[in-house]
Amino acid sequence: MGTSLRDVAVLAGVSVKTVSNVVNGYAHVAPATRAKVEEALARLDYRPNLSARNLRQGRTGVIALALPELDAPYFAELSRFVIDAAAEQRWLVVIEQTDGSLERERQILDGVRDHRVDGLIFSPIAIGADELAARTDDTALVLLGERIHDGPADHVAIDNVRAARDVTEHLIGLGRTRVAALGAQDSSVSGTAPLRLAGYREAMTAHGLPETVATVERYHRADGFAAMAALLAGGAGERPDAVFCFNDLLALGAMRAILSSGLRVPEDIALAGLDDIEDGRYSTPTLTTVAPDKSQLAHIAVDLLKRRLDGRAHAPQELRAGYRLMVRESTVRPSP
C-alpha cells in the first residue's frame, strides 16, 4: 500500500492522531506543529486511504445511479448532470444499467445494501410501487421520473401530465385534428408512459377530438419507426396529420419513417417529442419537443439524497422540476 498516517507521523515526529488532525483541518493545532506535519505530508505525498476512512465513518462517498440504459441520449445527458451535481458534494457516481429488466431492478435495489454506496438514484421502469414499498432496507433512495406517487421514497420528476397536455395543445393549435399519440405501453406497470398518455387524452377530450394511440415495446428509434410505419399503412384519410411521440427517440424514428415514405414533416405530418435530446436539434427538420430542466432534476435528486444521508429526513417528498416547450421545424416550418 501507499504511505499511511503512521509513516507521516514518524517522519514529522508526532503522533498519528495529530497528523490526522492536520489532514482534517482540526482547529487546535500549533502553527509550528502544523508546519512540520504539512512538510512531512508533502514530502511523502500522503493520500488518505479512503477504504479505511469509509470503514471508520460508515460512508463510502459513492452513490449509485441506476437507469435503463446509458446509450439512450436522454439518460446520457441526465447522467452528466447527476455526475456533476454529485461532484459538488465530492461524491463519485457509479452507473448501473437495468435494461428495464425487472430482475436487474430488483438486484440493484437489493445490492444497495452491500455498503458499497451510500445512496441510490433510481430510474425504474419495471418494478412496481408495492414492491418498492415493501423494501425493508433503509438506504437513502431517490426515484427519478417515476410515477409512484405518495410512494415510499423521495421522488423527483417533471409534471408529465401537464407537459404532455401542453405538447398536444400545441399540435392542436396548429389546426391539426387527427393527432396521434405514439408511445403507450401495454405492460408498463410503472414509468411515465401512462402519465403522458393521460396528458394527451386531457387535451384531446378538451377539444372533442378523436384519439389515436400507438403502443410500443420500448423507447428506441426502431420502435418509433415501426409504430409510425404502422400508422402510415392506414389509408390517407385515416393517416394522422400530427403525432406526439412520448420521447424524442421515438420521434426521430417516426420522422425517418415519415420521410422515407415520401411524406413531408411538418407539411403532411407535424411531429413532436419529449426529452430535448441533442439529436433533435440537428435533425432535418429539427424536432419540436419538451425540454425538462435536466440540471434541475439532477440537483434536486442529489439534494434529496444529501438530506437523507445527513439524517435530515422527513416524510418522503415528491418534487417537480421545470420544463419548456421547444417549438422547432417539425411542427412549424420557418418562413425562409
Partner DNA sequence: CACCCCGTTTACAACGTTGGAACAACGTTG
Partner DNA sequence: CAACGTTGTTCCAACGTTGTAAACGGGGTG
The residues that touch a copy of itself, with contacts defined as CB under 8 A, are: 1-2, 47-52, 54-55, 58, 60-62, 69-71, 73, 76-77, 79-80, 83-84, 92-97, 113-116, 221, 225, 252-253, 255-256, 259-260, 278-279, 281-284
Residue the block writes with cell 406517487 = 149
Nearer to DNA, 117 or 203 (CB): 117
CB of 301 to DNA, least distance (A): 27
Residue placing its CB nearer to a copy of itself in the complex, 61 or 128: 61
248 binds, among a copy of itself, DNA, none (CB under 5 to 8 A by kind): none
Provide φ and ψ at 265, rounded to 5°: -115, 125
Of residues 11-30, those binding DNA (CB under 7 A):
14-18, 20-21, 23-24, 26-30
The torsion angle over the Cα atoms of residues 162, 269, 75 and 72, rounded to 10 degrees, is 150
Query: Nearer Cβ to a copy of itself, position 161 or 265?
Result: 265
CB-nearer residue toward a copy of itself: 168 or 283: 283
- Picking from 65, 72, 69, 118, the residue whose alpha carbon sits closest to that of residue 95 is 65
Scanning residues 52 to 81, which ones bind DNA (CB under 7 A)? 52-53, 55-58
Using CB under 7 A, pick the residue from 35, 42, 43, 48 that binds DNA: 48
Q: Output 277-282 pairs: Cβ under 8 A, ≥24 positions apart.
A: 277/73, 277/74, 277/77, 277/248, 277/249, 278/73, 278/77, 279/73, 279/248, 279/252, 280/248, 280/251, 280/252, 280/328, 281/328
Closest contact distance (angstroms) between CB of 77 and a copy of itself is 5
Residue 286 and residue 255: Cα distance in Å, rounded? 10
Indicate whether 32 belongs to the interface with DNA (CB under 7 A): yes
Minimum distance, C-beta of residue 298 to DNA, in the bound complex (Å)? 28
Entry field: residues in the chain: 336
CB of 78 to a copy of itself, least distance (A): 9
309 touches which of a copy of itself, DNA, none (CB within 5 to 8 A by kind)?
Answer: none
Q: How far is the CB of 12 from DNA (least distance, A)?
A: 9
- # binding residues, DNA (CB under 7 A): 32
Nearer to DNA, 2 or 234 (CB): 2
CA 101 to CA 97: how far, in whole Å?
A: 9
The item of a copy of itself, DNA, none sharing an interface with residue 6, based on CB under 5 to 8 Å by kind, is DNA
Q: Which of 240, 193, 248 is nearest to 220 (CA)?
A: 248
Spatial CB neighbours of 96, under 8 Å, sequence gap ≥ 6: 64, 65, 66, 67, 108
Choose the binding region for DNA from 32-40, 77-85, 220-228, 272-280 (rule: CB under 7 A): 32-40
Residue showing cell 462517498: 61
Q: Which amino acid is at 319?
A: L
CB 40 to DNA: min, Å: 12
- The torsion angle over the Cα atoms of residues 321, 327, 328 and 332, rounded to 10 degrees, is 160
Picked from a copy of itself, DNA, none, the partner binding residue 62 (CB below 5 to 8 A depending on kind) is a copy of itself
Q: Could you tell me the maximum CA-CA distance found in the chain, to the nearest angstrom?
A: 89
CA distances from 242 to 221, 239, 274, 287, 288 (A): 18, 9, 14, 13, 12
Question: Would you tell me which residues interact with DNA (CB under 7 A)?
Answer: 1-2, 4-6, 14-18, 20-21, 23-24, 26-30, 32-34, 46-49, 52-53, 55-58
